Amino acid sequence: MDVWQLFLTSFWPITLAGLTGTIPLAISSFAIGLVIALGMALLRISKNPVLSGIARFYISVIRGTPLLVQLFVIFYGLPSIGLVVDPWPSAIIAFSLNVGGYGAEVIRAAILSVPKGQWEAAYTAGMSPGQSLVRIILPQAARVSVPPLSNTFISLVKDTSLASLILVTELFRKAEEIAAFSLEFMVIYLEAALIYWIFCLVLGSGQGLIERRLDRYVAH
């Protein structure tokens, strides 16, 4: 089999592994990570020093340690204390915690960027702090946080390749299998890089659409 034929025949299997493995893994981890990030961001801006300290510690640990180490701690480390987690859940837990750590600072900064007058206007309208946050502040903060969070998601799509190290079948894992069988490592790995790039281009194109939809919430 020549190189070009190998490239063509392997393109769909690798792409399919990305569509059924990489993308679902990234989406599920990002969704859970956003929930964690929002919670940590709210704790971070809390006036309670204990709650704020917990958030600071979590963010510091996540941002100060490599994602690969976090992944290995969960998959290879937890069994040593009697907690065995399968590959897929291990990957989701590690990626979600990582997104939570980085996303928390993005969301915190976005919330703080909303003018204080917005809070005061909401209180004047009779809203509680919770209602003000949900109805007024978070929609405006969402617009500010879209670009950095989009970059976080795109980075996560690429970072899911680390899941191949704990036997999760995704794009890069499939590429490794094909490369090992064909021995054409350069061709297959370049093909995997191309497919990652295509995925990121497609995902990045949706960023502008989301920004335009959120423009309605920005105070002008």
Number of domains in the chain: 1
Share of the chain above pLDDT 90, in %: 65
Q: Which pLDDT band holds residue 117 (cuts at 50, 70, 90)?
A: confident
Residue 214 has pLDDT above 70, yes or no: no
b/e map of 16-48 (b: 16 or more CB within 10 Å)? ebbeebbbebbeebbebbbebbbebbbbbeeee
Look at residue 130 in the predicted model and tell me its pLDDT.
75
Q: Which string of DSSP letters, residue by residue, matches 43-59?
A: HHT-S-HHHHHHHHHHH
Query: What is the share, in percent, of the chain residues with pLDDT greater than 70?
Result: 95
Predicted pLDDT at 128:
74
Lowest mean pLDDT among 13-17, 109-113, 191-195: 109-113
Rounded average pLDDT over 66-76: 96
pLDDT of residue 129: 73
Q: Provide the domain limits for residue 164.
A: 3-217
- Residue 215's pLDDT is 64
pLDDT at 104: 95
CATH classification at residue 134:
1.10.3720.10
